[in-house]
Structure 1
Amino acid sequence: MMFKTYLKIAWRSLKKNKLVSFINILGLALGIATCLVISLYVIEEFSYDRFFKDSDRIFRVTLDAKIGEQTLSEASVMAPVAETFKAEIPEVQVSTRVLNLHSNTKVRIGDKVIRKGNTAFVDPNFFEVFDLPFASGDPATALSNPNSVVLTEDQATALFGKDNAINQAIKLEGIGYYSSQYLDLSGDYTVTGVIKNIPENSHFDFAMLASMLGNPDAKNQSWLSGNYVTYLLLNKGATADQVETKIPTLTRKYMEDQMKQGLGMGFDEFFEKGNHVYLNLQPLTDIHLNNQFAGKGDFEAGGDLQTVLIYCAIAVFMLLIACINFMNLSTAGSSQRSKEIGVRKVMGSGKQDLVFQFLSESLIAVFIAMVLGLLLAKLALPFFNGFADKSLSLGFLFQPVVFLTLLALILLVTLMAGGYPAFFLSAFKPIESLKKKIIRSNRSGLRSSLVVFQFTVSVVLIIGTIVVSQQMNYIQNKDLGYDKEQLIVLRDAGLLGEHLDVFKDKLKGDPRIKNITKSAYIPSGPTDTNSQNLIIDESMSSTLRMIQYGIDEEYIPTLGMEILAGRNFSLDLGSEENNIIINQTAAKELGIEDDPVGQVFEKRTDNQGGREEVRVVGVVKDFVAKSLREPIKPLMMVYNPYYSLIMKVEKSELQPLLADMQSIWNGFNTGEAFHYAFLDELYNETYIQEAKMGSFLTVLSLMTIFVACLGLFGLVTFTAEQRIKEIGIRKVLGSTVNQIVGMLAKDFIKLVGISLIIAFPAGYFFMDMWLGNFAYHIDIAWWIYALAAGITLVIAFGTICLRSVKAALMNPVESLKSE
């Protein structure tokens, strides 16, 4: 009954101070909502692959190598590594491999052609390492035959509808390109198992898992190259360090003879020349947030640990700012209630009664803010899911740990906000309270410090928003070395098979198409990559690893690239089979920048020491072959047109042209869908993470400064009320509205100024670290700080004026009336 009375009085108190209560609750609700949404994202990012039973014992073998001036970091290793490690390292319980089919594999069921889902070859013991639950079939034997395949439930439904997929026959068609050679991955397969859909928080997402026994390259014994992602399940109690100490001996044992044959040098000589090759272990749970191997054997683009930590910090700071506001306004307003405390004590209320009363008021406000925060989070989540390409839900709140965390947060904020009036003010004697002789504590100093903290965080976010925006603008406008505008990419043109050249010739005759080239290599977005070949100098003592593009004679003019020396490929001059075009960086690292044309080198053709001579016939101006995150690397172009089409078109005729292209495509009756992409859009997708971060920072900057200003507005309101008699006296003595506003604003603007001094170096530190992810980036100019300061000061001063002008315009007679 007493508790009900406390709640009733608390509710009346909140209603009595509607404006301050509204500001308090709204600010805290926004902080809670923001923190909840970001926390969902952060928790999901850190949850990747942890659902596997033995996730803490599973490791991926990665490659770290240096050959000449080139460094290699690959998530895939050589084919025999898995079997060798299992046989010769006692700590390894199971080893298994995955070969991702980069080609666009299609499934044929009779006359029906379906292209859906990613496909991979996996070893028969794959399910011993990854305990994916089976809906039907036996995980122990599902992949024991060469032509067996396991489907996910969604894939089984897509292929067979409601029919039972087990023992159904399908035909996989596709060609993969591995270790500088084509592998025909086609064949007839029998469905031997159906697994539950692989959770979204997995670093791989395969719809079909075919038996590695059907892959002819799986028995390759080369230790010099390979594309097999290899996983080890260690024995219980075994550590990665124990395994890694034994790996160097094994690599020497199996690699040395092949190195002598392939590179012309022994293991010791290879290392003495400054080269190295190491096989390391990467924990399974670290894969998703380690983007070191993005595009280098990883199955997905992955997340970014730095970005996740930035979002995590923002969530914490946003909640802190909201809690600071709440505590600031609660403690500031409570000192106005000294007479109320005195009257309650005279009427018989004890200290314990007052403690419960003040804490119940704080509890009600925090609880309302928490409920409102949950509702705001629920409303914001669909927009955030679309923005972050996630499918997050508030269902995680029902987990015991999370629920207890929220409960602890309510109690913590309640105690921090209500503790001052509950334990400090309630201890004063009634006479002192009634005479308003309560000694002011150092709370005003604490409040000032908290205001500085709030605006420091806000300014850092504003600086971050401006820097990210400028970097994205730089990315959009930088000279890339090629023209990305008005280029259409048909990635799947090779699906036309024997009709590809006919299709190309028909398009070439269309006057709306300026140029057309047959190549699968594009400088942006998903592209075929091949960097297995080595250029070896005449002494055979050093190598240069190079990116290799397979192109035709129309590639360079279609993409608007510039030849600086020599010539382009031309079939009018005969076969171009052993000719190459290199970029400026390759010419420099080969030491032939002064006279590149006509230089002859040897190119490695296989892992058994095979070589062939190649001649430099041209040098193309450096272009960004990957992204601005990494420096331009040595690159060579060989005459090897295949698979995809890239065309330069007239922008004004775009839609009719696309319709005509699709009509021609459909006329071949291959059953393949017509897909196209624009190169400039693929380029923008390369930096989608940064673009999203910029948008997210903009929203968060607005929210943090809004919440900070709510607190500032409340504190100005409190200050004006405390100094209401002083303001009246000043007006009677002739002070103008501007002078009174200046008086009230001075101290707060000073606090904002201090926050700027702290925020500038902090903002520089964090954004300089972020820009370090780019090989090519902007410099953080002085005007960025000036703009951030201007925005902050204008908003803060406007907030202060909004409340202080009202106080300055009050009739002094009202403020000087006797109480």
Structure 2
Amino acid sequence: MNVLKSLNQRGQHNWIKIVCLAVGLATGIVLIGKAGFEQSWDRFFPTSDCIYVVCEDIIMDGEYKHYPQTAGAVAHGIKCYCPQVEAATRYTSFAWDMPIVTDDDKRVRTNYALVDSCFFDVFPFRVLVGNPKKTLSQVDCCMIPRSLAEKLMGIENPLDLVGKKIYYNIRGGWALTVGGIYEDIPLNSKLHGMEVMVSMPTITKIMFDGRDNWVGNDRYESYVRLAKGIMPDDLKPQIEKMKRDNLPLDELKKAGVDLGFSVQPLVDYHTKDEGTRRMTWIISILAAVLIGCAVMNYLLLVIGGISQRTKEMAVHQCYGAEARHIYQKVLTESVIHLLLSLTLAALLLFLFKDTIEELVGAPLIVLLLTGSNIWLIVSTCLVVLLITGLVPSWIYTHIPLAAAFKNYNHSHRLWKLLLLGLQFASATFLIVLLIVVGRQYRMMVHDDLGYDYSTLGSMLVDGVSIEQRQLAMDELRKLSFVKGVTMSYANLTQHQSGDNILLPGDDREYMNIADLYYVGDGYFDVMEIPLVSGRTFTEQTDTLREVMVSRKFEERMKELAGWDQALGKQIICTSFQGPYTIVGVFEDTRIGSITNPDTRPSVCYYSRKPEQMHYILIRFQSMDGLEAANKLVKELVTDNPDISIVPYNQMVTELYADAHRFRTTVMIGGLVALIIALIGLIGYLAGEIARRQKEIAIRKVNGARIADVLKLFHTDILRVALPAVVIGATGAWYVARLWLEQFSEKTTLSPIILVGGALAVIIVILSVVCLGCYRVASSNPVNYLKTE
């Protein structure tokens, strides 16, 4: 009862303090959890400090490149040559977001990878049932995670799936026998996303078998587990011997290539990545700003009500209370406020759980409990408790006892203005940062890719029969709202396989290119990729051995090989037999994204065979026809019930999901900080108006107008607001520049942005001052002087 009574004390604004603190803590705790989560990757293994990623180190023409993938033989080669290596493994993904189907036609979209039998020797994931070594050694066998087994068999009996057949894409198609079920790979792992582990010997049914390659086909993720106490440098002599014994060093040297291998700690792979470190710092700053803003608002409201509590504290001291008793009383109140704030924060997190998880890309419970996050959150709450308890206690114990009984009304105006200024700086920091992030995101989703994707659709046709692919294309071409249809092997929004370029009669490898492989009839017309010179492919047999190259390819070969032009020249690409003649040069297009661009030159080849393609591309008159086209496709393509035409602009937008999440996070943080700052401003104005209402009345009697009274308060606030917004805008400029470093193309950090954001905050602040002071400025002065 006493607690509720103290919460409702007049003039103390306790509920406002609690609500603001709750909102600040809720947003801050989520950001602290996200920052801690990003630093916890791959640290959950008992042997985490012994697991290493095998990387390729390549020097080509004096340029150093580091790749986290290797050829197939490298991982087990290191195990063979290095006795310090206890286990080695490799895997390679081959299908993403493709259905797995049961005999009763239950379908779940999942990811597939070819995994060798030593995987669980290196990564000690818990195996619920089955023998992984045996399973991953047999053709057409697989291991699947518990969550996938539950979706296919039900939560009650997921383990019953062991020994049964499941099918890739369509029931009755390629069958895999489930040999075991393992515990799901955690989200905070480099391996997360690899679900259906197909035995490595099955590779001969799917793709080129590069398991024994020492050079080329560098598509394998390779790992080793070292013995305790062994460091990467200890392996160097044996790795050098492995290179001498197995690599064609003379041929590589002639080609201008120096190839080596190194190992990097798995625990550092994500956490020490420059992008991860940068984002973790920025998120931590946002968390500190939001929680700090809420704490400053709490102190501002406490200091605003000090004059009303001085007599209460003085009475306690008259009855024998010492300073420690005052500290104990105020700290107890702070504990109650903090507990209520945390309860309200927990309620907010529960209510907005889905939105939060979408923004941070991880379950809320994982964010709060992963690694040391719980201790970070507890430590943050203790710091908040100490600040909100000790600062008011110190002020109360330093008020002279005699002054307390003489209508003590010290305004602590300097303290209030300082706290208010810090809140203005915090709000400006987030608002300006939001403007920069929003501009960058807008630039990315409206990026010029080198082709028009506004009316383009893409349909993934893996697992669809040749007959149904051809039927779908033929029928789509007949639609009045379809301008053109073609096929392609590659999706330009993704990184492409790499190949090396040679010239006939020359052993030198000139450069590594992004190989787009095959395109169909009318590809460049449908994609609206401009032709620089020469011609495009025409409808013909595939025996003419023709290739088209990008403008960047032609320019690079002018530098490296002394070409005058590309047309008519012959090249050899390592994935294709013999020389091909260049018949056309097309304009450069963006491959990948601004965040992760593939900047290599590109080439493509012609094919009329649907079985060599992965995508059907449709150019619409307008996207209004998308629904009707999808309805037709559903009727025609019975091999895959999930098939649909995806708007290309949707695919482009999905490339920047992380930037969109960050933009939304900053927007929410900015609004929260601004609202908290405005609540603090309103509280400050209320105290100032109460303190100066008679002064205002006298000014009005002496002829002051409403504008003069408002100017009095505007001037007062601007003295603190102007330097605060300058500090906030400067901090935002620094953090924004740090964030923009991850992009290959950046929006301009114009001073206009900083000035505009700061000006917007100033306008909002002055508007609130006008609204808060207008009633007193326009009222009858007699009402405030009649008691004199």
Asked whether the equivalents of residues 583 and 620 of structure 1 are also in contact (C-alpha less than 8 Å), the reply is yes
Asked whether the equivalents of residues 630 and 644 of structure 2 are also in contact (C-alpha less than 8 Å), the reply is no
In the alignment, residue 333 of structure 1 is paired with which amino acid? G
Report the CA distance shift for 1:378/1:170 in structure 2 as closer, same or farther (over 3 A): closer
CA distance in 2, matches of 1:733, 1:353: 49
In the alignment, residue 623 of structure 1 is paired with which amino acid? T
CA distance in 1, matches of 2:437, 2:726: 21
Counterpart in 2 of 1:299?
none
CA distance in 2, matches of 1:157, 1:351: 62
Asked whether the equivalents of residues 578 and 613 of structure 1 are also in contact (C-alpha less than 8 Å), the reply is yes
Residues 106-255 of structure 1 mapped to structure 2, 5 A cutoff? 116-139=109-132, 141-157=134-150, 162=157, 164-169=160-165, 189-203=176-190, 204-216=192-204, 217=209, 219-243=211-235, 245-246=236-237, 249-250=240-241, 252-254=243-245
The offset of 1:169, in angstroms, is 4.5
Give the secondary structure class of the aligned counterpart of 1:32. helix
Q: What are the Cα deviations for residues 458-479 of structure 1, in whole angstroms up to 9, with x where unaligned?
A: 2222122112222233234443
Asked whether the equivalents of residues 492 and 592 of structure 2 are also in contact (C-alpha less than 8 Å), the reply is yes
Asked whether the equivalents of residues 432 and 757 of structure 2 are also in contact (C-alpha less than 8 Å), the reply is yes
Report the CA distance shift for 1:445/1:16 in structure 2 as closer, same or farther (over 3 A): same
Q: Which deviates more, 402-411 or 313-322?
A: 402-411
Counterpart in 1 of 2:768?
799
In the alignment, residue 150 of structure 1 is paired with which amino acid? M
> Which of the numbers 657, 678, 702 marks the counterpart of 2:629?
657
TM-score (normalised: structure 1): 0.84
Q: Which deviates more, 784-793 or 15-24?
A: 15-24
CA distance in 1, matches of 2:258, 2:649: 38
Asked whether the equivalents of residues 74 and 214 of structure 2 are also in contact (C-alpha less than 8 Å), the reply is no
Report the CA distance shift for 1:461/1:681 in structure 2 as closer, same or farther (over 3 A): same
Does residue 581 (structure 1) correspond to residue 570 (structure 2)? The answer is: no
> Which of the numbers 256, 262, 279 marks the counterpart of 1:280?
262
TM-score (normalised: structure 2): 0.87
Report the CA distance shift for 1:362/1:17 in structure 2 as closer, same or farther (over 3 A): farther
> Which of the numbers 92, 107, 115 marks the counterpart of 1:99?
92
Asked whether the equivalents of residues 547 and 584 of structure 2 are also in contact (C-alpha less than 8 Å), the reply is yes
Counterpart in 2 of 1:627?
593
Residues 593-604 of structure 1 mapped to structure 2, 5 A cutoff? 595-604=564-573
Asked whether the equivalents of residues 314 and 404 of structure 2 are also in contact (C-alpha less than 8 Å), the reply is yes
Counterpart in 2 of 1:26?
19
Give the secondary structure class of the aligned counterpart of 1:307. helix
Q: CA RMSD in A?
A: 3.5
Q: What are the Cα deviations for residues 602-661 of structure 1, in whole angstroms up to 9, with x where unaligned?
A: 31436xxx9632322111112212223337431112224532211212334332232223
CA distance in 1, matches of 2:482, 2:49: 55
Asked whether the equivalents of residues 576 and 639 of structure 1 are also in contact (C-alpha less than 8 Å), the reply is no
Asked whether the equivalents of residues 210 and 217 of structure 2 are also in contact (C-alpha less than 8 Å), the reply is no
Report the CA distance shift for 1:114/1:436 in structure 2 as closer, same or farther (over 3 A): closer
Report the CA distance shift for 1:380/1:154 in structure 2 as closer, same or farther (over 3 A): closer
Q: What are the Cα deviations for residues 479-529 of structure 1, in whole angstroms up to 9, with x where unaligned?
A: 3211102222121255213543344334334444321112122322x57x2
Report the CA distance shift for 1:791/1:531 in structure 2 as closer, same or farther (over 3 A): same
Give the secondary structure class of the aligned counterpart of 2:766. helix
Give the secondary structure class of the aligned counterpart of 1:545. strand
In the alignment, residue 125 of structure 1 is paired with which amino acid? C
Counterpart in 1 of 2:532?
564
In the alignment, residue 524 of structure 2 is paired with which amino acid? I
Asked whether the equivalents of residues 495 and 672 of structure 1 are also in contact (C-alpha less than 8 Å), the reply is no
Counterpart in 1 of 2:748?
779
Give the secondary structure class of the aligned counterpart of 1:515. strand
Asked whether the equivalents of residues 603 and 611 of structure 1 are also in contact (C-alpha less than 8 Å), the reply is yes
Report the CA distance shift for 1:64/1:115 in structure 2 as closer, same or farther (over 3 A): farther
Give the secondary structure class of the aligned counterpart of 1:617. strand
The offset of 1:564, in angstroms, is 1.4
The offset of 1:562, in angstroms, is 0.9
Does residue 605 (structure 1) correspond to residue 598 (structure 2)? The answer is: no
In the alignment, residue 766 of structure 1 is paired with which amino acid? V
In the alignment, residue 201 of structure 1 is paired with which amino acid? N
In the alignment, residue 228 of structure 2 is paired with which amino acid? K
Counterpart in 1 of 2:254?
265
In the alignment, residue 210 of structure 1 is paired with which amino acid? V
CA distance in 2, matches of 1:173, 1:12: 65
Report the CA distance shift for 1:513/1:68 in structure 2 as closer, same or farther (over 3 A): farther
Counterpart in 1 of 2:353?
381
The offset of 1:164, in angstroms, is 2.5
Asked whether the equivalents of residues 464 and 637 of structure 2 are also in contact (C-alpha less than 8 Å), the reply is no
Report the CA distance shift for 1:806/1:678 in structure 2 as closer, same or farther (over 3 A): same
> Which of the numbers 378, 391, 413 marks the counterpart of 2:363?
391
Asked whether the equivalents of residues 599 and 616 of structure 1 are also in contact (C-alpha less than 8 Å), the reply is yes
Asked whether the equivalents of residues 37 and 381 of structure 1 are also in contact (C-alpha less than 8 Å), the reply is no
CA distance in 2, matches of 1:804, 1:495: 70
Counterpart in 2 of 1:636?
603
In the alignment, residue 182 of structure 2 is paired with which amino acid? I
In the alignment, residue 207 of structure 1 is paired with which amino acid? E
Asked whether the equivalents of residues 142 and 177 of structure 2 are also in contact (C-alpha less than 8 Å), the reply is yes
Does residue 422 (structure 1) correspond to residue 393 (structure 2)? The answer is: yes
Report the CA distance shift for 1:386/1:351 in structure 2 as closer, same or farther (over 3 A): closer
Asked whether the equivalents of residues 591 and 598 of structure 2 are also in contact (C-alpha less than 8 Å), the reply is no
Give the secondary structure class of the aligned counterpart of 1:16. coil
Q: What are the Cα deviations for residues 724-752 of structure 1, in whole angstroms up to 9, with x where unaligned?
A: 44334434443333323322232321211
Does residue 77 (structure 1) correspond to residue 48 (structure 2)? The answer is: no
Q: Structure 1: give runs of 5+ residues left out of the alignment.
A: 1-6, 175-185, 293-302
The offset of 1:231, in angstroms, is 1.0
Q: Which deviates more, 387-396 or 59-68?
A: 387-396
Asked whether the equivalents of residues 29 and 373 of structure 1 are also in contact (C-alpha less than 8 Å), the reply is yes
Give the secondary structure class of the aligned counterpart of 1:94. strand
Asked whether the equivalents of residues 536 and 601 of structure 1 are also in contact (C-alpha less than 8 Å), the reply is yes
Report the CA distance shift for 1:789/1:92 in structure 2 as closer, same or farther (over 3 A): same
Counterpart in 2 of 1:67?
60
Give the secondary structure class of the aligned counterpart of 2:87. strand
The offset of 1:260, in angstroms, is 3.1
The offset of 1:141, in angstroms, is 4.1
> Which of the numbers 355, 362, 368 marks the counterpart of 2:327?
355
Q: Which deviates more, 768-777 or 718-727?
A: 718-727
In the alignment, residue 554 of structure 2 is paired with which amino acid? A
Identity of aligned residues (%): 22
Give the secondary structure class of the aligned counterpart of 1:612. coil
Q: What are the Cα deviations for residues 536-573 of structure 1, in whole angstroms up to 9, with x where unaligned?
A: 4876445111112121231100101111111111135x
Does residue 531 (structure 1) correspond to residue 498 (structure 2)? The answer is: yes
Q: Structure 2: give runs of 5+ residues left out of the alignment.
A: none
In the alignment, residue 380 of structure 1 is paired with which amino acid? F
Corresponding pairs, count: 769
In the alignment, residue 166 of structure 1 is paired with which amino acid? V
Asked whether the equivalents of residues 366 and 414 of structure 1 are also in contact (C-alpha less than 8 Å), the reply is yes
Asked whether the equivalents of residues 62 and 280 of structure 1 are also in contact (C-alpha less than 8 Å), the reply is yes
CA distance in 2, matches of 1:95, 1:84: 9
CA distance in 1, matches of 2:262, 2:529: 39
In the alignment, residue 220 of structure 1 is paired with which amino acid? D
Asked whether the equivalents of residues 37 and 367 of structure 2 are also in contact (C-alpha less than 8 Å), the reply is no
Q: Which deviates more, 363-372 or 726-735?
A: 726-735
Q: What are the Cα deviations for residues 250-291 of structure 1, in whole angstroms up to 9, with x where unaligned?
A: 4642465x2434x5617xxx3xxxx55443333323445677
CA distance in 2, matches of 1:92, 1:615: 47
Give the secondary structure class of the aligned counterpart of 2:498. coil
The offset of 1:767, in angstroms, is 1.8
The offset of 1:575, in angstroms, is 4.9
Report the CA distance shift for 1:617/1:382 in structure 2 as closer, same or farther (over 3 A): same
The offset of 1:335, in angstroms, is 4.1
